A and B are shown apart, each in its own frame.
Chain A
């Protein structure tokens, strides 16, 4: 009897009905399809606030001098006017990026002072050099220098405004894949064992490999649905950027398939270790929490302390996130992802090898 042909219909049926059962399970549906959307919405809204400098001006004092007038013209600057004490208070609380004080000097010129907070060195530096630029220009004009010995010009390339959504969404795709592979597999197998569904299936001529493949297939379809929903939602609602349009979307789908196959190794491995609903959550969290925090889901791994970066950059989810950002945020080609795909696939191989030792049907 040819096993492949006799197992084909059982495989299709089990895949289809497992998928149906999963979609009807409210917890699965929420965590795999609705929860990622909630996260994307939350982070999409954070990302939409435009970056600008908030500079405080002292009430009734500076409004007419040319320096303040120039600062006010810059589009990236928002100004508020209040007393110096109030402004300093705001500055300390982080509500303002800088306070600008312009006093007439003894010699008919101006004394310009910029107060910044050491809590935010990047913005402080930016505001200080912005004001200094204006001051220098004013000085040159005042001294009548028209033929600068050093001339300066800057060109802007037509780049895309980098928004948080463009960073966070690929990370969400990766994290959702890991979640589906871990949570639904581990808790799914525990439930199937407890309800004797697996035993009942074993009483039929269904081969164990057919059962595993069909479980994997139903999760894969869930994962593709999930990725489509996350990316589709991002594109429609938050104008998420797909550098090569449909091609990028298809590349994301291919990556998702590969990612899920790798991550399912963790799911199968852990479902062998977890005996029941009580022992499963700690095991799943040990695998998912560090990866959620360290793999560049919410912020880039470069912002982590240097000593932890070698660990963080080699986590399977970190490899996946780097791969997917190559083709989304960085606008690269699929071939750019290969080193990272190899990275998370190696993790998968190790996990499947471990899973063959831990996996149990009863």
Chain B
């Protein structure tokens, strides 16, 4: 069972809500250690796909394998091996960061050094603060960090940078890249194309519940150009975002 080469295998996955088909027969594999992006607009079916793999939602038909375990048959084995960051908080508002870390450690039956974990994402000073008192970027760094408590082999990040300012986004990208370096497989959803291009090894483009293309960002661009596509505007050497970051300093967001 554990003799598998892919971290995640999804085969002909379908999810229906009544007459509405949210996920319409998608298949893909995520390789170990890979940063896999699912790109798509709101309502494309990204979150539903993620939540089925995370064992949070039952599937209508198809198969999902995580680290060699079937997500439908062995959800508890899957849950132990993954880290999940939801689109919005998911934390008790009346508990401090340290308390939340200790609570999650207990839920996974592991022991962690809460302060050391907070230090990793520059939130050491916020140890006694409530999640609601954090800035958007701090919240997301904490959410991502909290997924690492059980030392998962696969991490799911659902639109981690949505709603963040440029500084916070860049800072979170760095955190994600660091986690990737430690060998963790990461699946990330986003509707920022720039983010997908910068971070992901491979991306799946999703639209109306279907995956319409999978490949590395470079492959996809080359394929498009080979088809005779030319951008209408000449590419700028810098963007307004670069200007902003240059002027204000590329530091953390607080």
Contacts and interface: CB of A to CB of B under 8 A. Distances in A.
Main secondary structure of the interface of B (DSSP, over half): loop
A12 interface: yes
A200 B86 CA distance: 7
Contact of A14 (B82, B88, B103): B103
B89 A195 contact: yes
A61 interface: no
Contacts of A14: 103, 106-107
B91 A203 contact: no
Interface stretch (A16-24, A284-292, A311-319, A351-359): A16-24
A202 B51 CA distance: 11
Contacts of A196: 86, 88-90
Contacts of B109: 6, 9-10
B132 to A, nearest CB: 10
Contacts of B86: 196, 199-200, 203
A199 B107 contact: no
A182 B76 CA distance: 32
A305 interface: no
Interface in A7-46: 9-10, 12-14, 17-18, 20-22, 24-25
A2 B56 CA distance: 23
A205 interface: yes
B89 A12 contact: no
Interface in B86-136: 86, 88-95, 99, 102-104, 106-109
A17 B92 contact: yes
A13 B91 contact: no
B107 A21 contact: no
A200 B95 contact: no
B84 interface: yes
B95 A21 contact: yes
Given A10-B109, A14-B107, A195-B89, A203 B95 contact: no
A293 interface: no
A13 B80 CA distance: 17
Nearest to B79: A205
B91 to A, nearest CB: 6
Contacts of A201: 107
B34 interface: no
A10 B103 CA distance: 8
Nearest to A194: B88
Contacts of B93: 21, 195
B91 A21 contact: no
A20 to B, nearest CB: 7
B22 to A, nearest CB: 14
B67 interface: no
Interface residues of A, number: 24
Contacts of A12: 106
B95 A20 contact: yes
B54 interface: yes
Residues of B in contact with A, size category: 20 to 34
B102 A200 contact: no
B82 to A, nearest CB: 7
A24 B107 CA distance: 21
Nearest to B90: A200
Contacts of A9: 106, 109
B2 to A, nearest CB: 16
Contact of B80 (A10, A195, A205): A205
A120 interface: no
A197 interface: yes
A204 interface: yes
Given A17-B99, A205-B76, A10 B89 contact: no
Interface string B24-36: 0000000000000
Looking at A17, A20, A196, A201, which has the most chain B CB atoms within 10 Å of its CB? Answer: A17
A206 interface: yes
B76 A197 contact: no
A10 B92 contact: no
A25 B94 CA distance: 7
A195 B94 contact: no
Given A21-B95, A195-B93, A196-B86, A10 B56 contact: no
A13 B105 CA distance: 9
Given A24-B94, A195-B92, A205-B80, 13 more contacts: A6-B109, A9-B106, A10-B106, A12-B106, A195-B89, A195-B90, A197-B90, A197-B91, A199-B90, A201-B107, A203-B54, A205-B76, A205-B108
25 contacts: A6-B109, A10-B109, A13-B103, A14-B107, A18-B92, A20-B94, A20-B99, A21-B94, A24-B94, A25-B94, A195-B88, A195-B90, A196-B86, A196-B90, A197-B90, A197-B92, A199-B86, A200-B84, A200-B86, A203-B84, A203-B86, A204-B150, A205-B80, A205-B108, A206-B107
